[in-house]
Amino acid sequence: MEASNQSSVTEFVLLGLSAHPKLEKTFFVLILSMYLVILLGNGVLILVTVLDSCLHTPMYFFLGNLSFLDICYTTSSVPLVLDGFLTPRKTIPFSACAIQMFLSFGMGATECVLLGMMAFDRYVAICNPLRYPVVMRRAVYVPMASSSWLAGGANSLVQISLAVQLPFCGDNVINHFICEILAVLKLACADISINVVSMGVANVVFLGVPVLFIFISYIFILTTILRIPSAEGRKKAFSTCSAHLTVVVIFYGTILFMYGKPKSKDPLGADKQELADKLISLFYGLLTPMLNPIIYSLRNKDVKAAVKNLVVQKHSTQ
């Protein structure tokens, strides 16, 4: 693609809540509050998994990666959203838009793979507990986490490289809060069938395959738990994977709600439908990162004990 075609649009305009200016201050406070909770909650989880030697296990290593991932994912978009609420004309350079899409898309794909890796960890811990120290040794779980990041980054690089090669020579208004890749592709003045096929394949690989893997893993996990003779043993075994299962249900449940809900057929309600879709997409990107540390801290005695020890040590040094 010629450079002249690519440079015909040098910036994009983000609509955000431009049509509803009275809502901008309210949503600014709400989104900022959620973002601060995300930074605090996930930051504390990372801190305790690094500082507490009792948490130097594969499960908490993956949890630390998940928390860092959630911070990176929200940071790639939330500051742009907040700035848009305060700026009358919400513009973003073409290059900055590409970087933001790369980060957001990459982090989303990485989280899908990482949740699958965490399901495997729980499968080995419950179904093959005697082999767990051998199977999930450091030489295994560190490359597993690294491969999640590499796979997500590689997928994002492919998708965004295909997107930025398209000519954008007409409308430059993105009906969204951020540079969402589907909203950007709609503005291209060329055939995007290759992009659609590529993203379809990526969705199968990064959404379908991890979901199938998690589903199969939990079939084996639940079968093993039900075979445990004592009620206390079953409760203890299930408690080790309940937090991860809850996160998976919330993560994929919100995706299904976003893309599976019926579209309004009323032309008069089109504007409201578009506004609702944008807000749902925005809050989807904040809900799971905000709930993850809450779920893992409330449902995990080790994490609660580590946080308590960290607080006690802080007070004792003052």
Q: Cα separation of 115 and 140, whole Å? A: 16
What is residue 309's predicted lDDT score, i.e. its pLDDT? Answer: 72
Reported as a pLDDT band with limits 50, 70 and 90, residue 255 is confident
Structural domain includes residue 131: yes
Question: Per the structure block, which two tokens stand in for 310?
Answer: 């960290």
Q: Is the CB of residue 215 less than 8 Å from the CB of residue 115?
A: no
Structural domain includes residue 74: yes
Rounded to 5 degrees, what angle do the CA atoms 148, 45, 52 make? 105
Give the torsion sign (CA, 135, 138, 139, 145): positive
State pLDDT tens for residues 61-108. Answer: 999 999 999 999 999 999 988 988 888 778 889 899 999 999 999 999
Which residues span the domain enclosing 230? 11-257+279-301
State pLDDT tens for residues 26-43. Answer: 889 999 999 999 999 999
Q: Cα separation of 72 and 110, whole Å? A: 11
Q: Cα separation of 283 and 306, whole Å? A: 30
State pLDDT tens for residues 276-296. Answer: 777 887 888 888 899 888 888
Reported as a pLDDT band with limits 50, 70 and 90, residue 6 is very low
- Rounded to two decimals, the pTM is 0.86
Looking at the predicted structure, is the pLDDT value of residue 300 above 80?
A: no
As a whole number of Å, the CA-based R_g of the chain is: 22
Structural domain includes residue 17: yes
Structural domain includes residue 43: yes
Closest to 116 measured CA to CA, from 252, 287, 286, 290: 252
Q: How many domains does the chain have?
A: 1
Structural domain includes residue 318: no
Structural domain includes residue 269: no
Q: Is the CB of residue 54 less than 8 Å from the CB of residue 302?
A: yes
User: 19 or 165: which carries more pLDDT confidence?
Assistant: 165
CATH number at residue 246: 1.20.1070.10
Q: Which residues of 298-310 are buried (b: 16+ CB within 10 A; e: fewer)?
A: ebbebbeebbeee
Structural domain includes residue 272: no
Average pLDDT for the chain? 85
Q: Cα separation of 20 and 23, whole Å? A: 6
Q: Cα separation of 219 and 184, whole Å? A: 39
Q: What are phi and psi of 91, to 5 degrees?
A: -115, 155
What is residue 1's predicted lDDT score, i.e. its pLDDT? Answer: 40
Structural domain includes residue 130: yes
Give the torsion sign (CA, 290, 291, 297, 303): negative
What is residue 303's predicted lDDT score, i.e. its pLDDT? Answer: 74
Q: Is the CB of residue 248 less than 8 Å from the CB of residue 221?
A: no
